[in-house]
Structure 1
């Protein structure tokens, strides 16, 4: 199983059902070294599924006191691919560091070259 952190629309039941065909059960966690910003979505399918054209997006700061609250979900390999397909080009999947000490994938700003911790 893969672990995926959600801080935005993937926490919405409607998005989970449309993307994965099931409601996900997650555990609360907090991502270290990021802040939330916003991105305008132009993909009509994503807008239809989420009901919004403005989505949250992670920006890397590297500052340990910057934390983003969210939930970590366990996904199959196929579901992780489905999550990749849901996320638009503005997002890149990278590994994040969490207050729990556990590892998980995150979707962060693809334009931010400092996304990768280190």
Structure 2
């Protein structure tokens, strides 16, 4: 299983159903020292970037290897996965702008 922190569209149940054929249950968490930027990827999708004393709120999902591969395809080349530590102490994959 793979922990993924989502701050954007992966939190939407309609997106989850389209991608995985099911909805996901997650836990809320925060990414410290990053800020959320809206509409920066292709003019409509969010991204995060380093920013001291800022916090991004989101949800941590536990994905299977197959779901992670589907997520990689969904995020495409505009994003890359980076393992980051969240406020809870959990380490999770976060998709950041490529």
Q: What is the TM-score of this pair, normalised by structure 2?
A: 0.92
* Structure with bigger gyration radius: 1
| CA displacement at 1:21 relative to structure 2 | 1.1
1:64-88 Cα shifts (integer Å, max 9, x gaps)? x211000000000110000000003
1:58 corresponds to 2:48 = yes
Q: Where does structure 1 differ by over 4 angstroms across 4 or more consecutive aligned residues?
A: none
Is 1:30 matched up with 2:24? no
Tell me, yes or no, if the aligned pair for 1:32 and 1:96 is still in contact at 8 Å.
no
1:76 to 50, 53, 64: 64
Structure 1: gaps (5+ residues): 42-52, 111-118
Equivalent-residue separation in structure 1 for 2:75 and 2:10 (angstroms): 10
Matched, 1:39 2:27: no
Deviations 1:88-118 (A, max 9, x none): 32211101121100100000111xxxxxxxx
Q: Report the Cα distance in structure 2 between the residues aligned to 1:16 and 1:60, rounded to whole angstroms.
A: 27
Q: What stretches of structure 2 of length at least 5 have no aligned partner?
A: none
Q: Distance in 1 between matches of 2:80 and 2:36?
A: 15
- Structure 1 length as normaliser, TM-score? 0.77
Q: Does the 8 A contact of 2:60 with 2:92 survive in 1? A: yes
